[in-house]
């Protein structure tokens, strides 16, 4: 299966950004017919290494050898023509075009009168068949298919050019278990055809399920390359974070804590719903309580969070906050009632990319005060110092543009933005998605500590283990409605929730 000659070999790669050594003497090899996973915490340099390989960043020193010859890419098109294609975490396709147009974009079949659309769609179909997606109609608009299918379409698109190297940067972060399995089938198929696949994921199970070889990076440095079966999970984690895995295992569970459900709830909603996105749901959250929302992707867990915050306008429901009957129809209203919401869509609804870390941190506090009462420099510095340190944001330079931070650090800044408003109810939608084990543990600890201090938390995550570990009560959603509510206890596991979702389905 493994060829002897690597198709990509990167040696002693160094890249320096102003003030940061993003990569230092990193080595990386990629063999044809092999899935190679790049592992590391956020900010370890995974994305930088990928961007160096695809020509987005220029390398300061080191050599890149592709198919035996030294290469220096000056752009993604350059890398693509050398047979290296990339599929990014956030699907970069055109929603308004058809599946086939997306697959063939830039490679349309041309005839004497311009583009021959019939032949283009035939070629698109062939590309889809190659990945086992023959059922997909290339003339269907892309917006009509699920995110998981869009991801596969993006891969077809990358493979149209007959790439020898396929880079998948966190392709699974928004997929559910079945969809991941579908994606893995496609990956294995391509691997068996001899394609070299570079895979990045934060889900350890997935890494062990799919990859043949691992390279671990830490703080921009090369830690080691291993065959996957030869490295235990514990070893991998300690290589990634540079300390013993015991500290991770020591992470507390909320199950032992006293239930908070006796007193009056801080937030209570009856029949909260919105046509087309969520059927009416009842939800109570008590002070100091973590309520988990569990369910598969598209079950309505995000929609419920958005309705609580007023990000989407609910069209039914009675809401009581702190004993007073009220309505939350906009984020402004929610913030003034001490509710904060951290979105799952960090890039489009969370960060304001061109602004600095400081400006991003203070934004919600400032918005609540109104533009006429600006925070003084000192107040701004206080907020920055407090949350950059407390949440361990790296680099902790408040004047750096937030878009230059890694995903996990952006997430921490956003969490800081909401904490700075001193909310009494914090709704967290996928706060740990797409971030590494270390940052994940830090964020989970923070959430537990916040609840300990009396904050109410609604915790939404696609990782059931995480929901079970943190929550005291779990609301299970499916197909845009609430199908159950369980009080967490020693007997509750992720499987319990899976069972609820599964039996609810079969009883229909």
Partner 1 sequence: MTPSSSRPSAVVQFVTRLFHQPYVWAIVALLLLLVVNLTKNPGYLGVSVNAATGNLSGNVIDILRASAPIMMIAVGMTLVIATRGIDLSVGSVMAVAGAVSMEFMQTTGTGSFGTAVVAVLLALGISALLGTVNGILVSIVGLQPFITTLVMMLAGRGLAKVITSGQNTSATNEPFRWIANGTVLGFPVVFVIAVLIVAVLAALVRRTALGLMIEAIGINPKAARMAGIRPVGILISVYIVSALLAGIAGIFSTASVMTVEVAKTGMTAEMDAILAVVIGGTSLAGGKFSLTGSIIGALLIATLDKTIVYMSIPSSATPAFKAVVIVIICLLQSPRVRALFSQRQAKVTRTRKETVSA
User: Cβ closer to partner 1: 31 or 341?
Assistant: 341
State which of residues 372, 377, 506, 508 lies at the interface with partner 1 (CB under 8 A): 372
Q: Specify the stretch interacting with partner 1 by CB under 8 A; choose among 240-248, 297-305, 328-336, 494-502.
A: 328-336
Restricted to residues 288-317, the positions that interact with partner 1 (CB under 8 A) are 311
Shortest distance, position 310 Cβ to partner 1, whole Å: 10
Strands 61-66 and 69-71: antiparallel
CA distance 393 to 377: 20
Alpha-carbon separation of residue 432 from 364, 439, 440 (angstroms): 21, 8, 5
By CB under 8 A, is residue 505 in contact with partner 1? no
User: Cβ closer to partner 1: 113 or 371?
Assistant: 371
Nearest C-alpha neighbor of 433 from the set 201, 210, 205: 201
By CB under 8 A, is residue 381 in contact with partner 1? no
Nearest C-alpha neighbor of 42 from the set 438, 476, 306, 491: 438
By CB under 8 A, is residue 76 in contact with partner 1? no
Shortest distance, position 363 Cβ to partner 1, whole Å: 5
Shortest distance, position 504 Cβ to partner 1, whole Å: 32
Restricted to residues 195-254, the positions that interact with partner 1 (CB under 8 A) are none
Shortest distance, position 433 Cβ to partner 1, whole Å: 17
| Strand order from edge to edge, sheet including 267-274 | 278-285, 267-274, 316-321, 324-326
User: Cβ closer to partner 1: 286 or 306?
Assistant: 306
User: Cβ closer to partner 1: 270 or 368?
Assistant: 368
Shortest distance, position 60 Cβ to partner 1, whole Å: 10
First to last CA, the chain: 46
Q: Specify the stretch interacting with partner 1 by CB under 8 A; choose among 150-158, 162-170, 340-348, 434-442.
A: 340-348
User: Cβ closer to partner 1: 171 or 431?
Assistant: 431
Residues 416, 443: contact at Cβ < 8 Å?
A: no
Q: Tokens for 477?
A: 């959603």
Q: Tokens for 41?
A: 């915490």
Q: What is the DSSP letter of 372?
A: T
Q: Specify the stretch interacting with partner 1 by CB under 8 A; choose among 102-110, 165-173, 188-196, 361-369.
A: 361-369
Site string for partner 1, 424-463 (x = CB under 8 A): ----------------------------------------
User: Cβ closer to partner 1: 429 or 442?
Assistant: 429
Half-sphere exposure of 228 (CA within 13 A, CB side): 18
By CB under 8 A, is residue 399 in contact with partner 1? no
By CB under 8 A, is residue 352 in contact with partner 1? yes
By CB under 8 A, is residue 369 in contact with partner 1? yes
CA distance 172 to 471: 24
In sequence order, the 6+-apart residues with CB closer than 8 A to the CB of 194 are 32, 33, 164
Q: Specify the stretch interacting with partner 1 by CB under 8 A; choose among 15-23, 37-45, 296-304, 330-338.
A: 330-338
State which of residues 367, 381, 487, 502 lies at the interface with partner 1 (CB under 8 A): 367
Q: Specify the stretch interacting with partner 1 by CB under 8 A; choose among 222-230, 284-292, 329-337, 471-479.
A: 329-337
Half-sphere exposure of 53 (CA within 13 A, CB side): 29
By CB under 8 A, is residue 363 in contact with partner 1? yes
By CB under 8 A, is residue 366 in contact with partner 1? yes
Strands 165-169 and 114-115: unpaired
Residue 296, φ and ψ in degrees, nearest 5: -80, 170
By CB under 8 A, is residue 351 in contact with partner 1? yes
By CB under 8 A, is residue 398 in contact with partner 1? no
Q: Specify the stretch interacting with partner 1 by CB under 8 A; choose among 123-131, 169-177, 198-206, 358-366.
A: 358-366
DSSP per-residue letters across 54-110? TTSS--SEEEEEETTEEE--SSHHHHHHTTEEEE-SS----TTSBHHHHHHTT---E
CA angle 60, 48, 42 (to 5 degrees): 135
State which of residues 137, 327, 349, 479 lies at the interface with partner 1 (CB under 8 A): 349
State which of residues 134, 229, 374, 489 lies at the interface with partner 1 (CB under 8 A): 374
For the chain, what percentages of helix, strand and coil (3-state, to nearest 5) are there? 40, 25, 35
Q: What is the DSSP letter of 376?
A: P
Chain residues binding partner 1 by CB under 8 A are 311, 331-332, 334-335, 341, 343, 348-355, 359, 363-364, 366-375, 417
């Amino acid at each position: 299966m493994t060829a002897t000659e690597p198709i990509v070999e990167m040696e002693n790669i160094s890249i320096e950004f102003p003030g940061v050594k993003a990569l230092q003497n990193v080595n990386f090899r990629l063999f044809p017919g092999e899935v190679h996973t790049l592992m590391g915490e956020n900010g370890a340099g995974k994305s930088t290494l990928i961007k160096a390989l695809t020509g987005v960043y220029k390398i300061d020193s080191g050599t890149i050898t592709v198919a035996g010859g030294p290469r220096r890419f000056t752009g993604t098109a350059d890398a693509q023509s050398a047979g290296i294609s990339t599929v990014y975490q956030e699907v970069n396709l055109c929603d308004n075009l058809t599946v086939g147009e997306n697959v063939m974009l830039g490679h349309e079949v041309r005839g004497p009168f311009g583009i021959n659309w019939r032949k283009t769609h035939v070629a698109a179909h062939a590309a889809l068949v190659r990945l086992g997606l023959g059922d997909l109609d290339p003339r269907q608009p892309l917006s009509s298919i699920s995110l998981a299918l869009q991801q596969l379409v993006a891969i077809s698109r990358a493979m149209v050019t007959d790439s020898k190297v396929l880079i998948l940067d966190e392709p699974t972060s928004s997929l559910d278990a079945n969809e991941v399995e579908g994606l893995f089938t496609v990956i294995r198929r391509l691997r068996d055809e001899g394609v070299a696949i570079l895979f990045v994921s934060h889900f350890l199970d997935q890494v062990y399920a799919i990859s043949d070889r691992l390279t671990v990076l830490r703080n921009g440095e090369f830690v080691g390359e291993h065959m996957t079966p030869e490295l235990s999970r514990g070893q991998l984690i300690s290589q990634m974070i540079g300390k013993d895995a015991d500290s991770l295992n020591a992470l507390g569970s909320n199950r032992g804590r006293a239930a908070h459900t006796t007193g009056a709830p801080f937030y209570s909603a009856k029949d909260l719903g919105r046509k087309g996105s969520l059927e009416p749901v009842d939800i109570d959250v008590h002070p100091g309580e973590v309520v988990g929302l569990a369910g598969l992707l598209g079950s309505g867990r995000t929609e419920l969070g958005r309705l609580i915050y007023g990000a989407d306008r609910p069209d039914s429901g009675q809401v009581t906050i702190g004993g007073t009957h009220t309505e939350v129809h906009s984020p402004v209203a929610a913030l003034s009632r001490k509710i904060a919401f951290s979105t799952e869509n960090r890039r489009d609804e969370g960060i304001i990319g061109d602004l600095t870390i400081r400006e991003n941190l203070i934004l919600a506090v400032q918005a609540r005060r109104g533009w006429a009462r600006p925070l003084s420099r000192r107040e701004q510095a206080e907020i920055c110092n407090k949350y950059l340190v407390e949440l361990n944001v790296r680099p902790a330079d408040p004047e750096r543009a937030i878009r230059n931070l890694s995903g996990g650090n952006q997430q921490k800044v956003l969490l800081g933005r909401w904490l700075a408003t001193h909310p009494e109810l914090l709704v967290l939608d996928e706060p740990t998605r797409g971030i590494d084990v270390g940052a994940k543990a830090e964020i989970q600890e923070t959430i537990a500590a916040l609840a300990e201090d009396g904050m109410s938390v609604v915790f939404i995550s696609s990782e059931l283990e995480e929901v079970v570990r943190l929550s005291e009560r779990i609301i299970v959603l499916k197909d845009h409605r609430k199908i159950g509510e369980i009080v967490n206890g020693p007997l509750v596991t992720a499987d319990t929730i899976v069972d609820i979702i599964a039996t609810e389905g079969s009883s229909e």
